Amino acid sequence: MPYIAIIIIAGAVAVDQLIKLWVINSIDVGRYITAIDGVLNISHIRNFGAAFSILQNRQIFLILITIAALIIAAIVLFKNIGKYSPIVRVGLSLIIGGGIGNLIDRIRLGYVVDYIDVRFVDYPVFNFADCCVVIGAILLVAGVIASELSKNRGK
Protein backbone atom coordinates (compact mmCIF):
# COMPACT_ATOMS: atom_id res chain seq x y z
CA MET A 1 0.00 0.00 0.00
CA PRO A 2 2.74 2.60 0.76
CA TYR A 3 4.30 1.98 -2.66
CA ILE A 4 1.44 3.84 -4.38
CA ALA A 5 2.07 6.88 -2.18
CA ILE A 6 5.79 6.68 -2.97
CA ILE A 7 5.05 6.47 -6.71
CA ILE A 8 2.76 9.53 -6.51
CA ILE A 9 5.36 11.49 -4.52
CA ALA A 10 8.21 10.52 -6.86
CA GLY A 11 6.06 11.22 -9.93
CA ALA A 12 5.08 14.67 -8.71
CA VAL A 13 8.71 15.55 -7.93
CA ALA A 14 9.95 14.20 -11.28
CA VAL A 15 7.33 16.02 -13.38
CA ASP A 16 7.89 19.23 -11.43
CA GLN A 17 11.67 19.14 -11.78
CA LEU A 18 11.58 18.18 -15.47
CA ILE A 19 9.25 21.07 -16.33
CA LYS A 20 11.38 23.49 -14.32
CA LEU A 21 14.53 22.23 -16.06
CA TRP A 22 12.87 22.83 -19.44
CA VAL A 23 11.80 26.35 -18.38
CA ILE A 24 15.29 27.22 -17.11
CA ASN A 25 16.90 25.97 -20.32
CA SER A 26 14.31 27.36 -22.76
CA ILE A 27 13.07 30.71 -21.46
CA ASP A 28 15.15 33.63 -20.23
CA VAL A 29 14.31 34.93 -16.75
CA GLY A 30 11.49 37.45 -16.93
CA ARG A 31 10.46 36.34 -20.43
CA TYR A 32 7.58 34.12 -21.56
CA ILE A 33 6.18 31.97 -24.32
CA THR A 34 2.53 32.44 -25.25
CA ALA A 35 0.83 29.05 -24.93
CA ILE A 36 -2.77 30.19 -25.47
CA ASP A 37 -3.12 33.83 -26.48
CA GLY A 38 -4.80 35.84 -23.73
CA VAL A 39 -5.22 32.75 -21.56
CA LEU A 40 -1.88 31.16 -20.65
CA ASN A 41 1.78 32.07 -20.88
CA ILE A 42 4.72 29.92 -19.85
CA SER A 43 6.96 32.39 -18.03
CA HIS A 44 10.29 32.11 -16.27
CA ILE A 45 10.01 33.77 -12.87
CA ARG A 46 12.28 33.44 -9.86
CA ASN A 47 10.26 33.44 -6.63
CA PHE A 48 12.45 34.24 -3.64
CA GLY A 49 9.47 33.95 -1.28
CA ALA A 50 6.58 31.60 -0.56
CA ALA A 51 3.05 31.57 -1.98
CA PHE A 52 2.05 34.94 -3.45
CA SER A 53 5.71 35.98 -2.94
CA ILE A 54 5.31 36.42 0.82
CA LEU A 55 8.38 36.09 3.06
CA GLN A 56 10.72 37.31 0.33
CA ASN A 57 14.40 36.42 0.79
CA ARG A 58 13.78 34.25 3.87
CA GLN A 59 15.15 31.08 2.27
CA ILE A 60 16.57 29.45 5.41
CA PHE A 61 13.28 29.98 7.25
CA LEU A 62 11.27 28.66 4.30
CA ILE A 63 13.56 25.63 3.94
CA LEU A 64 13.26 24.77 7.64
CA ILE A 65 9.47 25.22 7.70
CA THR A 66 9.10 23.12 4.55
CA ILE A 67 11.28 20.33 5.95
CA ALA A 68 9.27 20.32 9.20
CA ALA A 69 5.95 20.25 7.33
CA LEU A 70 7.18 17.46 5.04
CA ILE A 71 8.35 15.35 7.99
CA ILE A 72 5.00 15.79 9.75
CA ALA A 73 3.05 14.99 6.56
CA ALA A 74 5.19 11.89 5.89
CA ILE A 75 4.74 10.64 9.46
CA VAL A 76 0.98 11.18 9.26
CA LEU A 77 0.82 9.42 5.88
CA PHE A 78 3.10 6.45 6.44
CA LYS A 79 2.53 5.72 10.13
CA ASN A 80 -1.11 4.69 9.65
CA ILE A 81 -1.42 4.58 5.87
CA GLY A 82 -3.98 1.74 5.88
CA LYS A 83 -6.24 3.74 8.16
CA TYR A 84 -6.84 6.51 5.63
CA SER A 85 -9.14 6.53 2.62
CA PRO A 86 -7.49 6.50 -0.82
CA ILE A 87 -8.45 10.15 -1.37
CA VAL A 88 -6.63 11.18 1.84
CA ARG A 89 -3.57 9.11 0.89
CA VAL A 90 -3.43 10.66 -2.57
CA GLY A 91 -3.93 14.14 -1.12
CA LEU A 92 -1.11 13.75 1.39
CA SER A 93 1.13 12.22 -1.29
CA LEU A 94 0.56 15.17 -3.63
CA ILE A 95 1.24 17.65 -0.82
CA ILE A 96 4.51 15.88 0.01
CA GLY A 97 5.55 15.61 -3.66
CA GLY A 98 4.82 19.27 -4.35
CA GLY A 99 6.59 20.34 -1.18
CA ILE A 100 9.68 18.33 -2.11
CA GLY A 101 9.67 19.81 -5.63
CA ASN A 102 9.77 23.38 -4.35
CA LEU A 103 12.20 22.44 -1.55
CA ILE A 104 14.66 21.13 -4.14
CA ASP A 105 14.55 24.53 -5.90
CA ARG A 106 15.07 26.46 -2.66
CA ILE A 107 18.08 24.36 -1.67
CA ARG A 108 19.60 24.02 -5.16
CA LEU A 109 18.85 27.46 -6.62
CA GLY A 110 17.99 29.71 -3.67
CA TYR A 111 14.55 30.42 -5.16
CA VAL A 112 11.58 28.59 -6.67
CA VAL A 113 11.05 28.53 -10.43
CA ASP A 114 7.49 29.60 -11.30
CA TYR A 115 6.15 29.46 -14.84
CA ILE A 116 2.36 28.96 -15.09
CA ASP A 117 1.06 32.44 -15.92
CA VAL A 118 -2.72 32.52 -16.22
CA ARG A 119 -3.60 35.66 -18.19
CA PHE A 120 -7.40 35.88 -18.00
CA VAL A 121 -7.34 36.63 -14.25
CA ASP A 122 -4.97 38.66 -12.12
CA TYR A 123 -3.13 35.85 -10.35
CA PRO A 124 0.50 35.23 -9.40
CA VAL A 125 2.66 32.96 -11.53
CA PHE A 126 2.93 29.46 -10.04
CA ASN A 127 4.26 25.98 -10.89
CA PHE A 128 3.35 22.29 -11.03
CA ALA A 129 4.52 21.70 -7.45
CA ASP A 130 2.14 24.42 -6.27
CA CYS A 131 -0.68 22.70 -8.18
CA CYS A 132 0.16 19.41 -6.46
CA VAL A 133 0.04 21.05 -3.01
CA VAL A 134 -3.28 22.80 -3.69
CA ILE A 135 -4.95 19.77 -5.30
CA GLY A 136 -3.55 17.59 -2.50
CA ALA A 137 -4.97 19.91 0.14
CA ILE A 138 -8.38 19.90 -1.55
CA LEU A 139 -8.36 16.09 -1.70
CA LEU A 140 -7.22 15.87 1.93
CA VAL A 141 -10.02 18.13 3.13
CA ALA A 142 -12.59 16.35 0.95
CA GLY A 143 -11.42 12.97 2.24
CA VAL A 144 -11.57 14.05 5.87
CA ILE A 145 -15.04 15.56 5.41
CA ALA A 146 -16.28 12.42 3.63
CA SER A 147 -14.87 10.26 6.41
CA GLU A 148 -16.53 12.34 9.11
CA LEU A 149 -19.87 12.32 7.27
CA SER A 150 -19.62 8.57 6.89
CA LYS A 151 -18.91 8.14 10.61
CA ASN A 152 -21.82 10.38 11.55
CA ARG A 153 -24.23 8.40 9.33
CA GLY A 154 -23.25 5.22 11.12
CA LYS A 155 -24.25 6.61 14.52
The question of whether 130 is a catalytic residue gets the answer yes
The question of whether 28 is a catalytic residue gets the answer no
Q: Which residue out of 16, 105, 117, 130 is catalytically annotated?
A: 130
Q: Are 32 and 43 in contact (CB under 8 A)?
A: yes
Residue type at 11? G
Cα distance between residue 84 and residue 106, in whole Å = 31
Q: Which residue out of 16, 105, 114, 117 is catalytically annotated?
A: 114
Cα distance between residue 119 and residue 40, in whole Å = 5
CA-closest candidate to residue 139, choices 78, 90, 73, 71: 90
Catalytic residue ranges: 114, 130
